[in-house]
Amino acid sequence: MPQKLNIAFYSFFHGGGIGHYTHELLKRLNDRPELNVQLYCPPNFHWLKEATYPVRPILFQLSSPYPLIRRMRFLMGCRPSTFWPKLSEKLG
């Protein structure tokens, strides 16, 4: 019996086009018997209840209704090692 191929996706986008396309792709890949697929996403992923594939909602949530918080979270996720020293310098 051949082994299944394990595929993991991660999505920081809780909704919108990228999140929707990721959801649709995973639905179709999950129908393939030779694949094991799963998604790692933030807890506010829009299609959690509709997912027919395993979902791990454990990623940090980037979204916020406040633009400054969104930018800060994005920067923290992109380059945490450079973000924190600069922030601590500014805060004193």
Give the pLDDT of residue 78: 59
Same domain, 50 and 6: yes
Number of domains into which the chain is organized: 2
Same domain, 43 and 2: yes
Same domain, 14 and 56: yes
List pLDDT tens digits, range 13-36.
777 788 889 899 999 999 999 999
Higher pLDDT, 74 or 24: 24
Same domain, 23 and 55: yes
List pLDDT tens digits, range 24-69.
999 999 999 999 999 998 888 888 899 999 999 887 777 777 888 7
**Arithmetic mean of pLDDT, 6-12:** 86
Same domain, 15 and 45: yes
Please write down the HEC assignment for all residues of the chain: CCCCEEEEEECCCCCHHHHHHHHHHHHHHHCCCCEEEEEECCCCCCCCCCCCCCEECCCCCCCCCCHHHHHHHHHHHHCHHHHHHHHHHHHC
Give the pLDDT of residue 85: 55
Taking the C-alpha atoms of residue 51 and residue 72, their distance in angstroms, rounded to an integer, is 29
Q: Is the pLDDT of residue 87 over 60?
A: no
Domain housing 12 = 1-61
Same domain, 10 and 47: yes
